[in-house]
Amino acid sequence: MSLDAREFRDAMGCFATGVTVVTAKSADGEKVGCTANSFSSVSLDPPLVLWAIAKNANSYDTFMAAKHFAIHVLHSGQEEVSRLFATKEADKFGQVPWTEGQEGTPLLEDYSVRFECTTEHRYEGGDHIIIVGRVHTMDNPDAEPLGFYQGKYAKIVTG
């Protein structure tokens, strides 16, 4: 039985997620970042997280070679940041405040939660590669997260 790709994507859209921006720096110093909602915790001891990148992403080669990367869980006021980092040809880091982290990894200055990681494993995942990272530092200013549901940004109601 073969599943229709669009129907499968629509069905997966019924699972509400948060929205992240993942950043890294290439060996030649280029800063890259992409929007991803394929993010999850893996382990508490050691602290591991995962995310997945499409094999046809512009930043694919950089993330495949990167030893360090950062995951920024976006807050509810960052729809435009999500859209910016989902754009292929934008000057992403020219439009948001950022600083350098471990090994020069670009770190967004505004976020709900930020994890600085080293690459622990990479796994084949169909048209994506699953990247597992070990979390070395994190910052949690506890801002309300940005949600995504059925192809649209969504408010996550807390409390």
Extents of the domains making up the chain: 19-144
Per-residue model confidence as pLDDT tens digits over 117-141: 999 999 999 999 999 999 999 999 8
d(CA 15, CA 47): 24
CATH topology classification for 19-144: Pnp Oxidase; Chain A (2.30.110)
Per-residue model confidence as pLDDT tens digits over 52-111: 999 999 999 999 999 999 999 999 999 999 999 999 877 899 999 999 998 999 999 999
